[in-house]
Homo-oligomer: A and B are copies of this chain.
């Protein structure tokens, strides 16, 4: 591969002049600029970013750490992030954490070693605080997506959990439901805490009682929905819920599956609503009522915040962007006559 020295020699200038041409410095006369640019083309020279990074201490590399790129919520985030990154001159490194703190921790050390300029991360939960502090220690800016972490101050892009829960539950109430179960994520994740809090508030606002036996926490990866459904169905018909709110698409889908295993018809026997839209392409075959999150915007806005932080064009105080969910009413929650 040709270097600036090769170009310099062939064009009869100093390497520094070549560097200036590459970086569009104004301190080069038009004739030399043209001469150098021709030589660059004739030698098919492509600048070596690694060398550049070493000097400048910037790699133009960003990292995106998500749970699983296979999940529609996260791959839409990834798409938004990549589009924005490209547009602003950065490249995106992909990492799947699978909700594992250890995997996340290993990745973060790797990323520091790689020299990424910043990290977009959907943290695994409050346990991620330690990992994020590692980033801070090494001066790597980061933006949290979708989830906050206790004790960590930084730029954030979140969904309005209260609004989402409110829309979902109000819809269920309109459909005549009064006993509504919540199948939540683990409470070390901020979303889960907020969604439960909102659930309690919205029920109370609607003068509905809160039955602790109808509130569950499962894991977002190793799912225990099946057992939860079994125990729900074993309740007496007086206590048994007529509707279920699942707090993400993974849990929502597993809820439906578990109900079917028990030969329960959704929505006739029991209604189901959830967060996120699990049907990326198959919108021709809608079924689940969801509070859809603007995942693409999570990615693109988060990336913008991050790059502004990296390039120090951001205000000092951290920014918190709260996006609105959209209620998409579909078959799984509709009263059948």
Contacts and interface: CB of A to CB of B under 8 A. Distances in A.
Interface stretch (A93-101, A143-151, A182-190, A194-202): A93-101
Interface residues of A, number: 56
A46 B138 contact: yes
Which among A112, A113, A279, A281 has the greatest number of chain B C-beta atoms within 10 A? A281
Contact of A94 (B78, B110, B280, B281): B78
A79 interface: yes
Interface in A240-295: 249-250, 253, 256-257, 260, 278-285, 287-288
Contacts of A231: none
A325 interface: no
A269 to B, nearest CB: 15
Contacts of A69: 69, 75, 78-79, 82
7 interchain residue pairs of minimum CB distance:
A278-B281, A94-B94, A256-B284, A75-B75, A50-B53, A50-B115, A285-B287
Given A64-B94, A69-B75, 17 more contacts: A46-B109, A49-B113, A49-B114, A50-B50, A61-B93, A70-B75, A70-B76, A70-B280, A71-B281, A72-B280, A82-B94, A83-B96, A93-B94, A256-B285, A278-B280, A278-B281, A279-B285
29 contacts: A46-B112, A46-B113, A47-B113, A49-B113, A49-B115, A50-B59, A61-B93, A64-B94, A68-B79, A69-B69, A70-B72, A70-B280, A71-B280, A72-B281, A75-B75, A86-B95, A91-B95, A93-B93, A93-B94, A253-B281, A253-B284, A256-B284, A256-B285, A278-B282, A279-B282, A282-B282, A282-B287, A285-B285, A285-B287
